[in-house]
Structure 1
Amino acid sequence: MTSPDVIFIVLDTQRADRLGCYGHTRPTSPNLDRFAAEGALFERAVSPAQWTIPSHASLFTGLYPTAHGVTQSSQSLSANRPHLAEVMRRLGYETIGFCNNPLVGVLNNGFKRGFQTFYNYGGAFPSVPDSSNPWPWPVSRLAESYTQFLRRISYPIQNFVGRSDLAFRISLHAWLTPLWSKIANFKGQNERSTQDVVQFLQDREENTSDQPLFLFMNLMETHLPFWAPAEFVDRIAPYFRHSKEARAIMRTWNREAYRWAAPLAEPLDELEERVLKDMYDAEVAYQDYYLGALFETLAQRRRNRDTLTIIVADHGDGLGDHNFFGHAFVAYDELVRVPLIMHWPGKVAAETRVAAPVSTRRVFHTILDAAAPTAEQSPALDEALGDDAGHARRLSLRHTLAGRDPEQETAFSEIYPPLNFVKAIESRQPELLARYRCLSPRRAVVRPAREDAGAPLKLITVDDTPEELYNLAADPPEMDNRLAADPLVAAALALALDQMAQRAAREHEAQPAGATVELDGDELLRQRLRGLGYLE
């Protein structure tokens, strides 16, 4: 049995409920829906975190945020924690990344470790394949050399902006947002990167390489700012072209980056809510359009049946739900319930739908389990992971597909607020910090009820205190808090959360994170951060 090629796609900021295969009534995702129908779809996939950095660290290590310790832009992945790409490389894979999110591709946080080639489409000076360069060879070579020089200069600056509270707050001013969001490629160049992946796969077909492939791609299309091409806006929201008020709303939101993650001081009005949700859907439809070409290329490859493709989101996005926007502070499903699709012809049955809650951190275990299928490959996996090698095989999602879930159909999320946004709110609307408890850590657990036909239940704690309990089958928007009505259920779920937190803390102590949060003399903030677990 040979090792399969592995295509690992992260749809950054993609809500599950805005895709047709997850029940959305709009035709936003016909290509993704067809691809999902050819494999397995996990109906209740739960992200271990609500924003990019801790979520990607979990995808790359298989650990919950407390365990891997990378919860802020000022932290980096410890060298003692094996990165997925590093392990795949040890297993003999060619490792390549195509990334559009600067938090993954630009920040010096250890997320690029293990990739032999890593193309970064975000930031001021993107790095792209030679085949993506439109200039003839001599000019392109000179341009690439000059760009590499500028990249060496710009990366420390971009790292400083990403890690410095003051620089971050300055960047949020409305007159600067259009500059860094477009000129500095905040959202990357998503369609271009997908075209480059298609070209790479086609070129690889001609080279007939025997080396297995691990390809990672991050698409950031559905993140603000929203500016999908007109044809997709017209398809989703035909009124938008003719409504000056609607266009003005979108222009305001696209340039006011501070609002992308701040709690709402007042609820959105009816038109504002409609415009934002429609423009999000237009971005989903645009993303689906260019993914169609990638799915077609995958279907035509000689190794089609020897290719495992996993599509997942790192987190969702709040669009005014629960009076929050963006993905900074809460554990509701609009942020932590994400799409998760496995496609492997001949290995994963078509039209499989899995109702059991699963953590998306198990993508790590699933890929490694598939990459080392034989006894001959086990020593390499053992060498890379040590005592965790058996753990990796045990937590593979193949067991859940076979009806034997190793985690008793239970998944957790840990909400560590991004401190750069906390400081931004503190400087602009400090009253919101207390009102929405923006410095309080939150945790959530999702698992089926022991009765009620296994309806998924969800408990949310704030500062380790149970505060919300929802029946997700009867109440998908999470508006009917059942905590007082079902105290015994809440107690059982709270126990599960406490056990998970203790387990993650022990894992963290065994291998501490690679960097610490640095502060400037705010003792109150220090006290809150100790409660969050950021400080000793």
Structure 2
Amino acid sequence: MTRRDLVAAALLLVAGCHRTAAEREAPPLRAPIVETRIDLLQRLPAARVTAAQPPQRGFAVLHDDIREALVVRTPATVRFDDLPIHAGARLRFAFAAGRTVGAAAEPVAFVVRVATGDRTAEVFRRVVEPRSGEFDPWREADVPLETAAAGAPRVALELETLGGDPLVRAAWAWPEIVSAGTPAPGDRRRLVAQERLRDLLADLDAAELSPGPAGPVRRLEPGGAGSGRLPAAALVPPGAAARWRQPFLPGFRLTFRYHVLRSAGTPPAAGRAGFALRVRPVRDGDGAPWRTLAERAIDLADLEAGWQGLRTIFDSVDLDVAGDPGSEVEIELAGRGSDPPPQVRAAMGALFLERRIDRPRIRRDGPGRNVVLLLVDTLRADRLGAYGEPRPTSPDLDALAAGGLVFDDARAPAPLTGPSTAALFAGRRLSRDLPCGQLQRVPFEHVTLAEAAQRAGWTTAAFVANALLAPGIGFEQGFQEYFDVAFRPAEDVSRRAADWIREHREERFLLYVHYLDPHAPYSAPDPWYDLFSPDYAGGVVRNTWTSWYHPWAQVLTHAVLQGAPVDPSPAFGEGARRARERVEVGAALLERLEALYSGEVRYWNDQLHLVLEALDDAGLRDRTIVAVTGDHGEEFAEDRHLGHGFSLHDAAVRVPLVLSGPLPGAPRRIPQPVSLADAAPLLLDLAGIPVPEEMEGRTLAEIESGVPAVVFSATLSYVRPEPGADPRLQTGVRARTSERDVLHLARDDAWFAPAAGGSAAPWRPLRADEVSGDLREAVAAFEQGLPQPAEDARAAGSDAAAEAGRGLDLDAAPGRRLEALRALGYIE
């Protein structure tokens, strides 16, 4: 950050202190209701546990139903203290028990108790008889708490499991207290948020480094040199320090994330690993005394081995130091504790300098428009009525499209969630700092869609059901509220978003809602599950992902994980088998999977009305732009692939983009190719929010201007589907213009175009001279800016290496995201 930037920031801060009379006299805004949902899993680190083994927080998949759960070995008690209890308080959760091997076990009791002072009341008890080798489906529970609380404003809650044996696992899924809540404190006339200014770890070269007995502070880049997949990190041995000089401004904060991990299969360690953050003003002559801002440590003896035992410290502290605006301060990161043994890795994963921004909050009658952006994970365009699907998969969305703007040719930047969503938020093409892999971050230096809205005074919030976008890697930038609703079904997510809209109806807002439906394992609730195959009598029933009793399940998993090309065969029925580097799949099995997927699409569609009705109830439909899109599609062997990630066929990268609301020239269809990287500037401009200059995407006027543009989709893990083709992963780039549509495979230097309808192969080869020189140059420039794929990962025979080629850096994945990757079927 330059001194000019800091001076400008100081002027903004000073200007913000001089509010106009109109601002001072503005009436208070209605306070939204908060604490309506208290997620107990979020409070697990502070819970008191009585158990032989610590409980695990992870993603449990029962009968294709994925839920985040607290998994324990019986007996175990988990106590949550100091929980607020409001009117109508109820505890909602699901529970299940099973035995992994051997005979059936003794029954398991699930017990809930409420404690107030010296009084404890049992409010729930159910008994489950675990079956051998599997879990029963989830059982739902809804337990009233008010009577047991006896008027106490805060209580303790105990979740206890009894019975069973050491091989039994018991799970509490999504435990949360639901109530009428309480009004949010504070004055909402002003919008207060944090804006990141400097990534100190990325700027380590500018720091003064002091070595310790075990060595100096050094950069750690687990994603590979120059890969940009993960944020900069640093190893800080005990006694070592890094010091940065920084011009000071009031409102500065430091946000940090520190990780400690013991490698799987290694013995316990001793000692402590930690750090200290200090600050002091820079003075001529002798240095001023240091002021400690934070000092934290983790006892290595408490670490479990492997990713399940990953310990993280994530917090923010004010840069509390005396100094005039513009004067220099020195910030120190110092190692503390003992030198970790080789089996332990301790690193500072993030250290950001931020400043508090304070602006008037725009009200509902103020300038601009609200934005509600609904992203439906894995939604391909051609499965919607508005894009030609003859079955009634999307009647509510089709009605929305009939009165709005429909982009006929919208493209995902990549066939994976992470990079496509990152490109959407940043309004930029994929590149080394916005890469193609599934595990990466949104670089903090890029102004995102939410940050641009927040800086203009819009209230911003997100509900995100894909755990790969959980807070901590940049997707949350600019959102004042970022609700992690991992794996929640569409009805639940829509109801939460609808409640939020009603509570913030007096404010101008940008709301992002990321649904996980219809992502695999295609498990819509009844009656949607068999909606498009009502007479089905086969064996694929809520076991597409989690049952290993069916040989075809293992084969399909191999195709989805490794990108093995698929050969459909009518003779196989619902069977499948591996055939060297390929997979043979029965046509009936593919038909069944596609029908289940379509049922998921209709299930999502039938929850859309909850959000639209909330806008109607609040009187906001004519003030709100509603946008619906997908992050990528899903293949059912159209390009001889299953799932997504290994191909750039239309089934994988053509997504819907439908806009509704106060829009110019609606209703109409827009034929020009567009990218999800255009979504941020498109929506910001339509909402009346200034578009950041650094965004590369286009506004509606620019899209329709007639100026030639190339829309790119890319993957680092393209697998050629032709029989006999080289099976190694390679970079694939699809480039689309209004006149041309080509695919280039970088390693093979091979060009293709989509084949005509009815062709046996989805692509037809092209000579390089059949592609215009301008387009070849554009593709070459785009490829040069991408990260390099892993070298021949498949030949190395390593699943981890193959996944790294796909962009999944397993060695650097935080534990919860690794569990999410397993639950979603990306890794075994």
TM-score normalised by structure 2 residue count: 0.46
Structure 1, residues 38-58: CA drift from partner, whole Å, max 9, x if none?
111111111111101111110
Q: SS at 2:761's partner residue?
A: coil
CA drift of 1:533 comes to 11
* Identical-residue share of aligned pairs (%): 25
- The equivalent residue for 2:584 is 267
CA drift of 1:478 comes to 8.8
Q: SS at 1:483's partner residue?
A: strand
- The equivalent residue for 1:225 is 521
- The equivalent residue for 2:65 is none
The answer to whether the 8 Å contact 2:628/2:657 transfers is yes
- The equivalent residue for 2:676 is 360
CA drift of 1:37 comes to 1.1
- The equivalent residue for 2:503 is 203
CA drift of 1:115 comes to 1.1
The answer to whether the 8 Å contact 1:309/1:344 transfers is yes
2:414 corresponds to 1:49: yes
Amino acid at match of 1:196: R
- The equivalent residue for 2:650 is 333
Structure 1, residues 235-286: CA drift from partner, whole Å, max 9, x if none?
211122x333666667557787555343242232111111011000010011
Q: 1:26 to 1:67 in 2, by over 3 A?
A: same
Q: 1:532 to 1:313 in 2, by over 3 A?
A: closer
The answer to whether the 8 Å contact 1:104/1:111 transfers is yes
2:715 corresponds to 1:351: no
- 2:433 and 2:423 map into 1 onto residues whose CA distance is 7
Query: Greater helix percent: which structure?
Result: 1
Q: Which has the higher contact order (CA 8 A, sep 6+)?
A: 1
- 1:529 and 1:215 map into 2 onto residues whose CA distance is 33
Comparing 272-281 and 290-299, the one that deviates more: 290-299
- The equivalent residue for 2:742 is 458
2:674 corresponds to 1:410: no
Q: SS at 2:737's partner residue?
A: strand
Q: SS at 1:214's partner residue?
A: strand
- The equivalent residue for 1:494 is 776
The answer to whether the 8 Å contact 1:331/1:444 transfers is yes
Q: SS at 1:281's partner residue?
A: helix
CA drift of 1:321 comes to 2.4
- The equivalent residue for 1:512 is none
- 2:624 and 2:797 map into 1 onto residues whose CA distance is 52
CA drift of 1:339 comes to 0.6
- The equivalent residue for 1:27 is 392
- 1:310 and 1:85 map into 2 onto residues whose CA distance is 15
Q: Which of 627, 638, 659 is the aligned partner of 1:342? A: 659
Q: 1:213 to 1:531 in 2, by over 3 A?
A: closer
Mapping of residues 27-176 of structure 1, within 5 Å: 27-66=392-431, 68-105=433-470, 108-122=472-486
Q: Which blocks of at least 5 consecutive residues in structure 2 are unaligned?
A: 1-365, 567-581, 810-828
Q: 1:248 to 1:410 in 2, by over 3 A?
A: same
Q: 1:480 to 1:86 in 2, by over 3 A?
A: closer
Q: 1:267 to 1:43 in 2, by over 3 A?
A: farther
Structure 1, residues 152-192: CA drift from partner, whole Å, max 9, x if none?
xxxxxxxxxxxxxxxxxxxxxxxxxxxxxxxxxxx333210
CA drift of 1:312 comes to 1.1
2:594 corresponds to 1:291: no
The answer to whether the 8 Å contact 1:191/1:290 transfers is yes
Q: SS at 1:296's partner residue?
A: helix
- The equivalent residue for 1:483 is 765
Q: 1:308 to 1:26 in 2, by over 3 A?
A: same
- The equivalent residue for 1:243 is 538
Amino acid at match of 2:678: R
Q: 1:254 to 1:343 in 2, by over 3 A?
A: farther
Amino acid at match of 1:356: Q
The answer to whether the 8 Å contact 1:226/1:254 transfers is no
Q: Which blocks of at least 5 consecutive residues in structure 1 are unaligned?
A: 123-186, 423-431, 450-455, 509-515
Amino acid at match of 1:351: P
The answer to whether the 8 Å contact 1:13/1:223 transfers is yes
- 1:466 and 1:198 map into 2 onto residues whose CA distance is 49
Structure 1, residues 113-133: CA drift from partner, whole Å, max 9, x if none?
2211111111xxxxxxxxxxx
Q: SS at 2:520's partner residue?
A: coil
Q: Which of 298, 308, 313 is the aligned partner of 2:625? A: 308
- The equivalent residue for 2:686 is 370
Mapping of residues 393-408 of structure 1, within 5 Å: 395-400=698-703, 403-406=704-707, 408=708
Q: SS at 2:614's partner residue?
A: helix
Number of residue pairs aligned between Structure 1 and Structure 2: 417
- 1:443 and 1:104 map into 2 onto residues whose CA distance is 24
TM-score normalised by structure 1 residue count: 0.69
The answer to whether the 8 Å contact 1:329/1:438 transfers is no
